[in-house]
Structure formats: C-alpha cells, structure tokens
C-alpha cells in the first residue's frame, strides 16, 4: 500500500465486484450491494485493529456509506474512481481558482459590512449586527455541509442519472430550507437577551429579517452547490476541492446584501401594518414544514433531518460569541470590519475543503472494506498533519501554500477601496501571520475531529464542518483583534475608534 494512503489497510483483500447500473436512489436493486455487507466485531482476521470500532451499524448519526449499506442498494458501475490517487498539481489546480474567487467575494462582504454601519437597517436596529456571524455562518453550517454531502454522493456514484440528480437536488434543497428557517429563528434569541430596550415590533423585525435572509440565501446557494457538483462530475473533477470555495465566494456577500435589503424593507413595512409581518413569517414557517416533509421522503436526507440538528445548534452558539466579539471590536477598531469576513471566511473555506476530503476518504475506505481509522493518537502528532507522507499532510501543505500569498494579494485589494488608514509592512506581515496561525490550527484540529466523529459513530460530512467553520470565526475574530491592537499599541497605526469619528468606508 502506498504511503499516500497510509490511513487505509485492506481487511481481507481487494474486492472487485461488477455492479449493474441503477437509476434511482430510494428504489435501487438489493441483490448486489450485499457484497459490501457489514463485518461484525467478532471477525477472526488479524488486521491490527478491531473491526468493531470500524464498521458498526449502531451509529448516533449515520453517514451516507452506512445508510447505503442499510438500504442494501447497488451502485452505478460507470462512476469516477474516487480511489484513484490525486496528484498535488491536480489538487492545486482545482482548489486555487475557486479559492481566489472566494477571496474576492469575502472582500466584497467586508466592504459591505464596514459600510453597513451607516445603513438604515443597522441604525434602526443596531443590535442586529450580533446576528451577522450566525446568518453568515449558515454558509458553513448548511451550504458547506450540503456541498460535502453532495460531493460524497457524487463520488460514490449516486448522482449519475438525470432522475438521481433531480431527486438528490430536491430532497437536499428542501432539507436546507427547513434547517435555515429553524436555525435563523434561534439566531434572534441572543439579541433579545443582550440587546438594549428591544420592543415587540423590533423583535418581530429582527426575526422576520433573519428568517427571510436565511431562506433566500440558502435557496440561491443550494442551487449553486447542486450545479457545481454536477458540473464537476461531468468534467471529471473532484467536487470536494471546488464546491466549498464556490459556496464561500458568494455566501457572505449574498447573505449580507439580502439581510440589509430585507431588513430595511421589513422596517418600512412595520410602519404600515405589523400584522403583515406576522403573516409573512407564518408563510416561511409553512415552507419549513413542507421542506421537512419532502426531506423525510429520502433516506439520505432523513438521517440528517433526524440527527443533524445538534452540530448546527452547537456551531450557532459559538458564532453567537463571534457576534458579540464582532460588535465590540467594531466599536473599538472600526476598520476591522473590512477584514473580518476575509480572515474568517478563508480559514473556514480551507478547512472545509480538508474536512470534505477526509470524510470522502472514510466513506471510500468503508466501501472498499478497509480499516477506516487508526487509533486517534496516531493523528495527534502535528508532524504527521503537516509533514507526513500522507494525503492529509499533502493537502495541508497545499492549502497553507495557497493561503499565504493569496492573503498578501487580498490585503492590497482591500486597501484599494480605502479603509481610512494606509497599509504598512508591519500590518501586512501581522495580518498574514494571524491568518496563517488560524489556518494551521484549524487544519490540525480537522484531521483529529473528523476521525474522532467517525469513531464515535457521527457523520463528519454533516457534523465536522459546522464546528470547524464556527471555530474559525471565533479564532479568526480574536486573532484579528490582536493584530489591530498590536499595530495600534506598538506601531502607532491610527485604527482606534476616536480616530474614526464620522468615518465612512471608502472615503
């Protein structure tokens, strides 16, 4: 076995099974997938690891590979070979361009967030800024997990026929609508407790703005994710490397734009008749119920609908802290808002690519009846994570290699818009350094967390990315504050609030 695949060992030899073509997901033929039947813990083969820790049906949150085995379905034979070794050049080429587009989208989001301080919506409801990281974080909690889930289904061959693609698209988009509306409703709760003197009409405006924003943004991004994964399959590209950066390129800026537009409109509608806001809110909750019913009809999305809420809710709690940090930091260092989406978005984007790749490796190993995860202490060594001869280290090196020069380019682009102070060499170095630290920490946590979830019988496709992107938001925000504080304290950079009285972005 090659060192590039040192995490996977065959259990009892290679399995070469000819499997007939299947045209649907929920009604596939049962007879041939039994060749990949479950191996119980009392298997007598001496593999060095206990199989009971690897292939077990009693999952807390079953991944796609387990769901497929429970369904006893067949797999199309004419699929892209996901076990094929991916070269470093291929990975770099597939990840670089979407990553650059993602950076440009995040820069636009930063421009919009900084200028939004003077918008009518934030002036009317200033505490709404606390919701921004949670609503923007839905991209990581929902759209990125959607892209990872679709990538796994595509790589396992369950998005081959036209009917399969339509079924997968409809069930997953329905699921995303249900989750987005439910989670965005909860995003208002911290504002109600922390905000100052919020009336009933203010609360209703915040709630409706959050729900409509999440629903519309998720609709646009989920359509985009489906299209990207289908296109990647058509051109024999790995969707794991492409779909998450594409989600990041439009996720933040579209969410912010929709929030500002919808929030302003809702505030105007409140002055006309508040009952209309309640009717619209009930309409979107009806959409969530319909979405839940549609998602329950598909075996893959049913598992997520039943067990996929707690990672999103835990991530929401983390992003709420990020929202409090953002509000305080914008008051202390106003130009920080222009850089916050960039550092948080790029870090979450890169680690989402890595998490999606590792998750696909685990699904692939299970399908091939290989040892999926070695003992977790094997992954604690940071040398393995960044310098070992394995897929994780190779991908981490490329992702870090993309991050550092790209951030140098992005920071100069931000200053072209004007942030109220001139760029300096110490500031550029400090910003790139904190970005590199954030990405390094996230990539290290990723290789442990994804496999730990798999060992604990939790699907990493739907659970790891929300945690990682939420951690990326919090770590990025704290490191960015440290960056601005150090530049103000030791280099005299004029970024404090008293130097920005009346300043507007771009002036």
CA 184 to chain centroid, in Å, comes to 16
pLDDT in tens, 90-110: 778 777 877 788 788 888 887
Q: Which two tokens stand for residue 156?
A: 């396992």
CB 245 within 8 A of CB 98: yes
* pLDDT the model gives residue 286: 97
The whole-number pLDDT of residue 369 equals 67
Beta bridge partners of 371: 9
DSSP 337: G
Enclosing domain of residue 195: 95-491
Query: Does any domain span residue 23?
Result: no
CA angle centred on 359, ends 145 and 31, rounded to 5°: 100
Task: Decide if 267 is inside a domain.
Answer: yes
Greater pLDDT, 261 or 505: 261
Q: Each residue of 2-25: pLDDT tens digit?
A: 444 444 443 333 334 333 333 333
pLDDT at 62: 66
DSSP SS3 for 74: coil
Is 502 among the domain residues? no
In a domain, 496, yes or no: no
Q: Is the pLDDT of residue 169 over 80?
A: yes
Q: Which residue has the tokens 């991530």?
A: 315
Instruction: Indicate the pTM of the whole model.
Output: 0.73
CB-based contact 298:167 (threshold 8 Å): yes
CATH number of the domain at 383, please: 1.10.357.20
33 lies in a domain?
no
Cα 454-455-457 angle, rounded to 5 deg? 65
Residue 25 lies in a domain: no
Give a yes or no: residue 42 inside a domain.
Answer: no
Q: pLDDT confidence of 70, banded at 50, 70, 90?
A: low
In a domain, 30, yes or no: no
**What is the arithmetic mean of pLDDT over 155-166?**
82
Tell whether the model's pLDDT for residue 506 goes beyond 70. no
Q: Cβ atoms within 10 A of the Cβ of 288, count? A: 20
* DSSP symbols for 114-160: HHGGGSHHHHHSGGGGGGHHHHHHHIIIIIHHHHHHHHHHHHTT-S-
Closest by CA to 345, choosing from 150, 475, 151, 218, is 475
Domain count, the chain: 1
């Amino acid at each position: 076995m090659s060192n590039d695949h040192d995490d996977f060992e065959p259990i009892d030899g290679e399995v070469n099974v000819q499997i007939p073509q299947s045209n649907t997901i929920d009604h596939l033929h049962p007879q041939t997938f039994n060749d990949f039947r479950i191996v119980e813990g009392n298997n007598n083969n001496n593999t060095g690891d206990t199989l009971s820790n690897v292939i077990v049906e009693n999952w807390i949150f079953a991944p796609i590979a387990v769901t497929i085995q429970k369904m006893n379905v067949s797999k199309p034979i004419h699929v892209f070979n996901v076990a094929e070794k991916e070269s470093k050049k291929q990975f770099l080429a597939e990840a670089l361009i979407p990553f650059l587009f993602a950076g440009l989208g995040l820069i636009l989001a930063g421009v919009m967030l900084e200028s939004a301080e003077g918008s009518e919506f934030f002036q009317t409801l200033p505490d709404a800024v606390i919701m921004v990281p949670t609503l923007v974080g839905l991209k990581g909690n929902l759209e990125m997990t959607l892209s990872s889930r679709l990538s796994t289904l595509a790589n396992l061959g369950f998005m081959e026929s036209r009917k399969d693609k339509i079924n997968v698209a409809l069930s997953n988009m329905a699921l995303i609508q249900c989750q987005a509306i439910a989670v965005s409703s909860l995003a208002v709760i911290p504002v109600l407790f922390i905000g100052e003197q919020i009336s009933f009409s203010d609360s209703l405006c915040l709630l409706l703005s959050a729900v409509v924003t999440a629903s519309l943004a998720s609709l646009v991004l989920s359509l985009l994710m489906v299209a990207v994964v289908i296109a990647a399959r058509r051109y024999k590209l790995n969707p794991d490397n492409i779909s998450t950066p594409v989600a990041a390129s439009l996720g933040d800026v579209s969410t912010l734009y929709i929030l500002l537009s919808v929030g302003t409109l809702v505030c105007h509608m409140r002055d006309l008749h508040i009952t209309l806001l309640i009717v619209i809110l009930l309409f979107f909750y009806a959409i969530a119920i319909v979405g839940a019913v549609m998602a329950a009809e598909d075996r893959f999305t049913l598992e997520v609908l039943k067990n996929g809420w707690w990672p999103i809710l835990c991530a929401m709690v983390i992003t709420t802290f990020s929202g409090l940090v953002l509000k305080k930091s914008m008051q202390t260092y106003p130009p920080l808002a222009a850089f916050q989406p960039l550092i948080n978005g790029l870090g979450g984007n890169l680690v989402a690519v890595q998490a999606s790749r590792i998750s696909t490796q685990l699904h692939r190993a299970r399908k091939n009846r290989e040892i999926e995860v070695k003992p977790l202490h094997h992954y604690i060594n940071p040398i393995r994570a960044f310098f070992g001869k394995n897929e994780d280290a190779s991908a981490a090196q490329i992702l870090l290699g993309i991050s550092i020069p790209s951030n140098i380019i992005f920071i100069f682009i931000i200053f072209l818009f004007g942030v109220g102070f001139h760029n300096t060499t110490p500031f550029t170095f400090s910003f790139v350094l904190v970005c590199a630290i954030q990405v390094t920490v996230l990539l290290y946590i990723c290789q442990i967390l994804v496999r730990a979830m798999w060992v604990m019988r939790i699907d990493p496709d739907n659970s790891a990315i929300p945690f990682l992107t939420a951690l990326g938001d919090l770590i990025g925000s704290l490191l960015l504050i440290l960056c601005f504080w150090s530049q103000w304290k030791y280099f005299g950079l004029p970024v404090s609030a008293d130097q920005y009285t009346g300043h507007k972005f771009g002036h």
